Structure 1
Amino acid sequence: MLIVYEHPLSPYAQKVKISLREKGIDFETRLPSGIGTGDTPDEFMNGNPRGEVPLLRDGDTAIFDSTVILEYIEDKWPTPPMLPAAPADRARVRIIEDVMDCHYEPINWGLGELNHFKRATGALKEKIEARAAQQVAGLHAWLERELGRRDWFNGETFGWGDLSVIPYVNGSAGFGLTPPEGSALAAWQARAMARPSVSTAAQEALDSISGMQDVSGAVEAGLFKREYRDHRLEGMIKSGGLDVVLKGLEKDNIRFTPDFS
């Protein structure tokens, strides 16, 4: 059985699950024990020494990094294709994916830090949230231009470009930052959410939030360590949250990518 190690809130894991469901491939999901503590078991760490989800296990094959996993899925199960046929269109949707992963993800991540993990309150929280709203509005405008007159980011059919965008647009919508009413992007979101592969992943993410009432206490006690690396660290600092990072370092409740060994 194909196994996807994941957390339902992870947009990276959602991309993988949407692709597999679009292709009709059966898989099992597993939540790594100790996820978020920085101390996960060897079964998981041996497959992904970065210690983050998603991880795909296909028999003896272990693959990490959501983009690499999507490429593996496309290579092994090419029908129906998630990538467009033309090289230029393939490059276009890969660029969209990279922007989502590197520029949109840290905004939603930061909003989660504030609202679920209570990293900041009062004026600092308001400052970071105001900056996030500006950043999301800018990304929505960029996505609107990228979508153009297409029904799908991928072109004529739903595919790689779309599954790369929808987890992030849904994620910020959960914090009240939605595409403008009547926009092409809002209409696209509704079309995407009508697909069972997308709506299932979105519902799984929503259901997982109900168990997060006490996570801020675990963070405060140092029992739960959120991973800050590359774009997340940059995003928090440039949005005015340097104190969030410094306090996290002081309390030892943030972590970075472990060393490879």
Structure 2
Amino acid sequence: MAALTLYHSEMSVCAAKVRIVLAEKNVDWTSVLLNLRGGDAQKPDYLRLNPNAVVPTIVQDGRPLIESTVICEYLDDRWPDPPLKPPHAWDRARMRLWTKQLDEGVHAAVGTLSFCIAVRHELLARSAADQARWVAGIPQTDRRERSKANLDKGVHSPYFAPAAQRCAKLFADFDAALAGAPWLAGEAFSLADVGFAPYLIRFKMFGLGLLFGRYPRVAEWAERVINRPSVQQGVSRWIGDGAAALYEKNRADGEHAFAAILAG
């Protein structure tokens, strides 16, 4: 058994970041796959590892570590070859600015869009009691309130338009950074690109083609990122037929909602 255990789920963008780094480093790991909408992350045994009731969590030598950005930096420190942090201090700072904005706004925005467009339909197919139980199990009050509104109202949730606008700004930021370098933090693929890789795939799944069309330089970079072997191994191969079909079925709703918001 590998010394490192990863608690994750197939469609978690945060868990996917960690799988990409593990693939880049060719590190062996043991998989513990959680059904998030089935409540696995809310069970007492898992909460003892990660009190936030989210994935990913890694456990090494009996010690748990949470927060995907922190985990990715730990893995790069622990297995430094090939390096995923730029060699120069300035570019490392740029890398961390990208992962900081991902953690401090982009992740929540993408989660809102993904949930409102597609994921909520899985929960709406369940009983009202199951839906209420899932919402009640979310430990953070703000996440719980946001999830309830998104579940009930979908693309008409008050959280949807600000999330779409946040992603529009993100694409403009991508374009500005890529005007001067092939990768987000400079001349080499880094943890900045790793961090956004699963989100680029998710953007395509839920209907952000409008923004890729608006920014050809971003579209070209996204294709290079998505086609990288570690991203294929850490993200694409984990997208099951059911999830792909769920997003495909509801993508047109996302496209129409985005177009209306970004036009207005």
| TM-score computed with the length of structure 2 as normaliser | 0.71
User: Are residues 1:207 and 2:240 paired?
Assistant: yes
Alignment correspondent of 2:178? 147
SS at match of 2:236: helix
**Structure 2 residue identity aligned to 1:180:** F
For residues 174 and 202 of structure 1, what CA distance do their matches in structure 2 show? 13
Of 228, 240, 250, the residue aligned with 1:195 is 228
CA deviation vs aligned residue, 1:108-157 (integer Å, no higher than 9, x gap): 211233232152448825x7555443332211001111222311123222
For residues 84 and 202 of structure 2, what CA distance do their matches in structure 1 show? 22
Does the 8 Å CA contact 1:100/1:168 hold for their aligned counterparts?
no
User: How far 1:177 sits from its partner (Å)?
Assistant: 0.8
**Structure 1 residue identity aligned to 2:99:** E
User: How far 1:33 sits from its partner (Å)?
Assistant: 6.1
Alignment correspondent of 1:253? none
| TM-score computed with the length of structure 1 as normaliser | 0.72
Higher helix share: 2
Alignment correspondent of 2:30? 28
Alignment correspondent of 2:134? none
User: How far 1:20 sits from its partner (Å)?
Assistant: 1.0
CA deviation vs aligned residue, 1:193-238 (integer Å, no higher than 9, x gap): 111111223324531753997xxxxxxxxxxxxxxxxxxxxxxxxx
**Structure 1 residue identity aligned to 2:187:** E
**Aligned CA distance change for structure 1 residues 35 and 49 (closer, same or farther; 3 Å):** farther
Of 38, 48, 51, the residue aligned with 2:50 is 48
For residues 163 and 48 of structure 2, what CA distance do their matches in structure 1 show? 36
SS at match of 1:151: coil
User: Are residues 1:98 and 2:130 paired?
Assistant: no
Alignment correspondent of 1:124? 156
Is the deviation greater in 148-157 or in 54-63?
Answer: 148-157
For residues 11 and 122 of structure 1, what CA distance do their matches in structure 2 show? 20
User: Are residues 1:183 and 2:183 paired?
Assistant: no
User: How far 1:14 sits from its partner (Å)?
Assistant: 1.1
For residues 27 and 122 of structure 1, what CA distance do their matches in structure 2 show? 37
Alignment correspondent of 1:79? 81
Identity over the aligned pairs, expressed in percent? 30
User: How far 1:22 sits from its partner (Å)?
Assistant: 0.5
For residues 162 and 229 of structure 2, what CA distance do their matches in structure 1 show? 33
For residues 156 and 190 of structure 1, what CA distance do their matches in structure 2 show? 17
CA deviation vs aligned residue, 1:34-62 (integer Å, no higher than 9, x gap): 765363242x3332222221111122222
For residues 89 and 123 of structure 1, what CA distance do their matches in structure 2 show? 37
Alignment correspondent of 1:111? 113
Aligned-residue Cα RMSD (Å) equals: 2.7
Say how many residue pairs are matched: 212
**Structure 1 residue identity aligned to 2:207:** G
**Aligned CA distance change for structure 1 residues 35 and 100 (closer, same or farther; 3 Å):** same
User: How far 1:101 sits from its partner (Å)?
Assistant: 2.2
Unaligned runs of 5+ in 1: 214-238, 240-261
Does the 8 Å CA contact 1:15/1:66 hold for their aligned counterparts?
yes
